[in-house]
Structure 1
């Protein structure tokens, strides 16, 4: 059985469509989540990179910076090296993405 990661977080920036080296398109975004340390009484923000092979999703227009999303799927942890800013990176390959909040569309009234 493949391990599954479920998380809720906020998008750090708008989701974009990218293409891998094989020409397959995917939706790419990162979500932030906070970890609270009760000993130090401080929170630190961590990031999960999301690679979603569903570039035709109607949800793309809603995946904007700051919205809260629920994401579930398989994952991979890549260990960094001395030149990387983080000791590891988490990549999530979802089979479920659900926006929990939506941004209001700006309208101009004349």
Structure 2
């Protein structure tokens, strides 16, 4: 059996990354990334803009540390990971809820495409972290700002 599960997104962070502590002692980081698309409406002929929101999640400790420091609302970011759909049910509800997210596991990647203050950065000023190499020491040395 063969398959490919890869998702790549470039967009702006809708909020600062959030980090939560799990009951098992681990942590999870979540981000929400907005991508914009323009198209011409067939009926009216007008240009329309549409924003799509993408949820991103990681359990990688070094990547979480980096996101805590640098993932701020409005930053332009590239992420590459896999799609994962979770199912859960809230207490008192009869139907399941679903959420599809981009999961940054080993092999996933986060790259900031601008400088932290929001100014456009050159390629030399970009910070890149791949999930498998994401430890505190390597994350700090990979990000030049």
Whether TM exceeds 0.5 here: the answer is yes
TM-score (norm. length: structure 1) = 0.73
The structure whose RCO (Cα within 8 Å, separation 6+) is larger is 1
Task: List gaps (5 residues or longer) in structure 1.
Answer: 80-87, 106-110
1:47 aligns with 2:57: no
Q: 1:33 maps to which residue?
A: 35
Which structure has greater helix proportion? 2
How many residue pairs get aligned? The number is: 97
The RMSD of aligned alpha carbons is: 2.5
Q: 2:128 maps to which residue?
A: none
Deviation for aligned residue 1:46: 1.2
**What is the CA deviation profile of residues 48-89 of structure 1, one whole-angstrom value per residue up to 9, with x for unaligned ones?**
01101224335321110000000001013579xxxxxxxx85
**What is the CA deviation profile of residues 20-65 of structure 1, one whole-angstrom value per residue up to 9, with x for unaligned ones?**
4655311111000012222241111110011012243353211100
Distance 1:78 1:55 in 2: 21
Q: 2:66 maps to which residue?
A: 59
Change (3 A) 1:93 1:38: same
1:99 aligns with 2:112: yes
1:74 aligns with 2:78: no
Change (3 A) 1:65 1:52: same
Which structure has greater strand proportion? 1
2:72 is paired with a residue whose SS is coil
